[in-house]
């Protein structure tokens, strides 16, 4: 069903940074023709997901209804929240949880640094695996064949002047993550942003997610980050990992409607 795919692609093309789009914007952003984009946008507007003022289309609150499908009572974000909060309280930095979603890492839960209550902002953001700490942790769980195929597929973008883009170098980085058991990013994604991530491993040994802490280059050096963040993250990731068994049992269907 091409129409559905196009429509969803257009929805995803919106972001906190792109809060409005014209027909042409949507067409180029989603990689379709203007005619298709127009039909999608019109339909989405009719359904109440977008608003149209004659020139620009804007996201409407109803889009939230699409994601409320995910996040059941025993979903990963739910389970993770106490651990993310614990880590944040100890580190005083934002702590996030990302899972694999295609060739990207998808942030499913977060505990913000300063503010006590998150609004779901930035949740659902998808970032390429090669350029984020969480992504590299997720990559580190892949076998060589899968990694090779991945690196064949992608073409790395230069985000900042610190970005590693040479595929050989990236493979080396992932190898290192496999060895060390954690990944760091130093201003590769955004200037001034430094992150460290560790895997969340379930009892079968599968990497089900990556937990990361992000900080400012002004506050914490990479060495400090490794020294002071790593243990806290490891501990909370381990705690979360132990709980994820219930997620798996959730798959063979026992409980249903309340």
Partner DNA sequence: TTCAGTTTGTTCGAATATCGAACAAGCGTT
Partner DNA sequence: AACGCTTGTTCGATATTCGAACAAACTGAA
Q: Interface with DNA by CB under 7 A: which residues?
A: 1-4, 6, 22-24, 32-36, 38-39, 55
Q: How far is the CB of 209 from its own copies (least distance, A)?
A: 9
Residue 31: name its binding partner from DNA, its own copies, none (Cβ under 5 to 8 Å by kind): none
Residue 153's binding partner among DNA, its own copies, none (Cβ under 5 to 8 angstroms by kind) is: none
Helices (H) and strands (E) in the chain, counts: 10, 8
> Of 24, 33, 120, 146, which one interacts with its own copies (CB under 8 A)?
120
Residue 233 contact, options DNA, its own copies, none, Cβ 5-8 Å cut-off depending on partner type: none
Q: How far is the CB of 197 from its own copies (least distance, A)?
A: 17
Residues in contact with its own copies, shown as a per-residue x/- string from 161 to 190 under the rule CB under 8 A: ------------------------------
CA distance 23 to 201: 44
Residues 195-254 that bind its own copies (CB under 8 A): 250-251, 253
Radius of gyration of the chain (CA): 20
* Residue showing tokens 């076998």: 143
| DSSP character string of 14-75 | --SS---B-HHHHHHHHTS-HHHHHHHHHHHHHHTSEEE-SS-EEE-GGGHHHHTTS--TT-
CB of 10 to DNA, least distance (A): 12
104: left (phi over 0), alpha (psi -120 to 50) or beta: beta
Strand residue runs (E) in 138-187: 183-186
Nearer to its own copies, 49 or 130 (CB): 49
x-marked contacts with its own copies along 124-163 as a string, rule CB under 8 A: xxx-------------------------------------
Angstrom distance (rounded) from CA 137 to CA 122: 20
**What is the spatial distance between Cα 45 and Cα 50, in angstroms, rounded to a whole number?**
4
Pair of tokens at residue 164: 């590693």
Residues 49-108 that bind its own copies (CB under 8 A): 49, 53, 56, 58-73, 76-78, 81, 84-85, 99, 101-102, 106-108
């Amino acid at each position: 069903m091409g129409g559905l795919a196009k429509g969803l692609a257009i929805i995803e093309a919106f972001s906190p940074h792109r809060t409005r789009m014209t027909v042409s914007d949507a067409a180029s952003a989603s990689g379709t023709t203007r005619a298709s984009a127009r039909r999608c946008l019109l339909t989405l507007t009719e359904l109440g997901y977008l608003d149209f003022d004659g020139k620009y289309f804007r996201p409407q609150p109803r889009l939230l209804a699409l994601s409320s499908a995910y996040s059941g009572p025993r979903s990963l974000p739910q389970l993770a929240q106490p651990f993310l909060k614990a880590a944040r309280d100890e580190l005083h930095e934002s702590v996030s949880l990302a899972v694999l979603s295609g060739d990207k890492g998808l942030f499913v839960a977060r505990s913000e640094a300063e503010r006590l209550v998150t609004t779901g902002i930035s949740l659902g953001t998808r970032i390429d695996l090669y350029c984020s700490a969480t992504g590299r942790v997720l990559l580190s769980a892949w076998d060589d064949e899968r990694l090779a195929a991945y690196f064949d597929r992608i073409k790395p973008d230069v985000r900042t002047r610190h970005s590693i883009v040479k595929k050989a170098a990236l493979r080396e980085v992932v190898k290192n993550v496999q060895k060390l058991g954690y990944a760091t990013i130093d201003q590769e994604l955004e200037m001034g942003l430094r992150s460290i991530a560790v895997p969340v491993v379930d009892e079968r040994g599968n990497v089900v997610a990556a937990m990361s802490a992000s900080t400012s280059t002004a506050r914490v050096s990479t060495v400090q980050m490794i020294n002071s963040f790593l243990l806290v993250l490891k501990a909370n990731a381990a705690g979360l990992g132990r709980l994820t068994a219930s997620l798996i049992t959730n798959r063979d269907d026992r409980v249903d409607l309340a």
